[in-house]
């Protein structure tokens, strides 16, 4: 029995699977942001490799964040047994769509509806997180019938 066995058993018995997964998904999201910012800083500021190409550096760093998200969510959040050949491209495609949804919601709420910037960012971010979580849980990493939860 490990040090964390009792606390983990308590959490498993008190909180439904979807809620535990949502919390993990959020934690992975924080890590993705750190990866994104770290790779960007590395490419632009620390090595200077893309010091004159900020947009390219941002595209690469954002992709690194998505790859980090895929790896952690596949193994830790959803404990998926599905093969990467079946899930990687759809995951990237959904994240690309989520980026478009995020940008669209930001534009709609801030520029069209005139909501405060921080409110618009919150609407766009929370909506995109919910979209990504639901698509990841129920489509991309859904358990096959023979896979145990």
Residue 11 has pLDDT above 80, yes or no: no
Mean pLDDT of all residues in 17-21 = 96
Alpha-carbon dihedral sign for residues 120, 138, 13, 71: negative
Q: Report pTM.
A: 0.84
Alpha-carbon dihedral sign for residues 119, 125, 128, 129: negative
140: nearest Cα among 98, 71, 97, 90: 90
Sort residue 79 into left (φ over 0), alpha (ψ -120 to 50) or beta: left
pLDDT single digits (tens) 47-101 = 999 999 999 999 999 999 999 999 999 999 999 999 999 999 999 999 999 999 9
- Taking CA atoms, 39 is separated from 47, 65, 120, in Å, by 10, 9, 26
Q: How far apart are alpha carbons 69 and 50 in whole angstroms?
A: 24
Rg of the Cα atoms in the chain: 18
Instruction: Give 28-46 as a DSSP string.
Output: HHHHHHHHHHHHHHIIIII
Q: How far apart are alpha carbons 123 and 97 in whole angstroms?
A: 16
133: nearest Cα among 68, 75, 78: 78
């Amino acid at each position: 029995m490990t040090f964390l066995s009792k606390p983990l058993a308590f959490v498993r018995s008190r909180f439904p699977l979807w809620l535990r997964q949502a919390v993990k998904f959020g934690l992975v999201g924080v890590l993705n942001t750190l990866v994104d910012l770290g790779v960007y800083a590395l490419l632009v500021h620390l090595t200077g490799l893309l010091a004159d190409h900020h947009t390219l550096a941002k595209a690469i760093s954002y992709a690194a964040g998505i790859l980090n998200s895929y790896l952690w969510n596949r193994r830790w959040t959803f404990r998926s047994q599905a093969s990467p050949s079946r899930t990687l491209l759809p995951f990237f495609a959904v994240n690309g769509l989520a980026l478009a949804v995020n940008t669209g919601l930001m534009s709609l709420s801030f520029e069209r509806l005139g909501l405060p910037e921080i409110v618009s960012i919150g609407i766009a971010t929370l909506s995109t997180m919910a979209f990504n979580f639901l698509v990841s849980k129920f489509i991309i990493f859904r358990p096959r019938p023979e896979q145990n939860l």
